[in-house]
Amino acid sequence: RAKAEGGGLYSSFAEGMDQNARQAIALEADLRRALGRGELELHYQPQIRLSDCKVVGVEALLRWRHPERGLVAPAEFLPLAEESGMIYDIGEWVLNEACQEAMRWTERGLGDLRIAVNISPTQFRKQSVASLAASALASSRLSAERLEIEITENVLMQGAERVLKDMRDLHRQGVQVAIDDFGTGYSSLAYLKNFKVDRLKIDRCFVRTMETDPRDAAIVNAVVGLGKSLDLHVLAEGVEREQQVKMLKAAGCDEAQGYLFGKPMTGDAFLAFAKPDCEASEPVGKGRAAVP
């Protein structure tokens, strides 16, 4: 009986595996077609300057509008894109699309916001992100200072030689570089000395519990201090509550991003959100408690 049960368990496990594998293959085939079919899109999340509560930047976040599955989050398909090598085409598309969208906003009267684009570590290791950025900037005619590349700490630790050159090339063009999820990678702080970095993005995991856990508050304060003494901008990710804003301002943090200010939204929605004197839009801060 135990054996029968075991067999039953085993076969349902195998069936499960089978189904997962089949699903993964189907998803991969779908993803291959997604780019050509225009199913990938970027959503945009505002980045706020805490001193005056103005929208000063925006982060482009990838979404897949799957015909049957609906809107698919990047965590569900980026690993697949990385494994299959599709990430190179996707990353290039993201860069081009983000630069073009930023120019469209400018043409429609939005000020010169900074636009941040996430680049996968895989892509950074294999390609010159500086050349990809250069061609995206050239074809969109966006000025380089408005583009920011987000990378994680781990990228700077591996393949240092060519990444170093890439970072230098980005900097020479005037493109900014932000360290995403700062404080969560496997890295030493030495890279802050060796690489030209413009902005640290404090990971959401520290911000999330900074009001209740003094250790998180201490880390946030320390990162802000580190940024200040190295002359870097510091942005807090994942801000959801006014109390966090209070604490971040007290710490001297420059900027924040999070659901409190706005969730990722379509390009048109972002234009209406951020455009200062457009009748259709509401000023930032309306519809939520004012930030002290």
In the complex, the smallest distance separating the C-beta of residue 119 from ligand C2E, rounded to whole angstroms, is 6
Distances (CA, A) of 122 to 86, 101, 129, 158, 192: 11, 25, 11, 11, 21
State which residue, 61 or 115, has the beta carbon closest to ligand C2E: 61
- Tokens for 76, please give them: 């569900």
d(CA 22, CA 291): 49
Return the one option of Mg ion, ligand C2E, none that residue 10 interacts with (CB less than 5 to 8 A, by type).
Answer: none
Tokens 């049957």 belong to residue:
68
Give the nearest distance from C-beta 82 to ligand C2E in angstroms.
8
CA dist 115 → 175, 240, 272 (Å): 10, 21, 16
244 binds, options Mg ion, ligand C2E, none, Cβ within 5 to 8 A by partner type: none
Residue 86 near residue 31, CB atoms below 8 Å: yes
| Residue 121 interaction partner, one of Mg ion, ligand C2E, none, beta carbon < 5-8 Å per kind | none
Q: How far is the CB of 23 from ligand C2E (least distance, A)?
A: 20
Nearest to 185 by CA among 207, 220, 158: 158
HSE value, Cβ hemisphere, 13 Å, CA-based, for 215: 1
Measured from the CB atom, the residue of 117 and 137 that comes closer to Mg ion is 117
Q: How far is the CB of 286 from Mg ion (least distance, A)?
A: 26
Task: Give the shortest CB-194-to-ligand C2E separation in angstroms.
Answer: 23
Which window, 89-97, 166-174, 229-237, 267-275, contacts Mg ion (CB under 5 A)?
229-237
Burial class from Cβ neighbours inside 10 Å (0-12, 13-18, 19+) for residue 155 reads buried
Stretch that binds Mg ion, among 12-20, 89-97, 121-129, 180-188 (CB under 5 A): 180-188
Residues 50 and 256 sit within 8 Å (Cβ to Cβ) = yes
Q: What angle, 0 to 180 degrees and rounded to 10, lies between the N-to-C axes of helices 74-84 and 2-34?
A: 80
Smallest separation, CB 5 to ligand C2E (Å): 40
In the bound complex, what is the minimum distance in angstroms from residue 160's beta carbon to ligand C2E?
Answer: 20
Q: Which residues bind ligand C2E (CB under 6 A)?
A: 45, 61-62, 73-75, 78, 91, 94, 118-120, 150, 180-181, 238-240, 257-259, 264
Site string for Mg ion, 140-159 (x = CB under 5 A): ----------x---------
Closer of 74 and 221 to ligand C2E (Cβ): 74
- Alpha-helical regions (H) of the chain: 2-34, 74-84, 87-107, 121-126, 129-140, 153-157, 160-173, 191-194, 204-208, 214-229, 242-251, 267-274
Residue closer to ligand C2E (CB basis): 118 or 140: 118
Q: Which helix (H) or strand (E) holds 190?
A: none
Which residues form the interface with Mg ion (CB under 5 A)? 118, 150, 180-181, 237
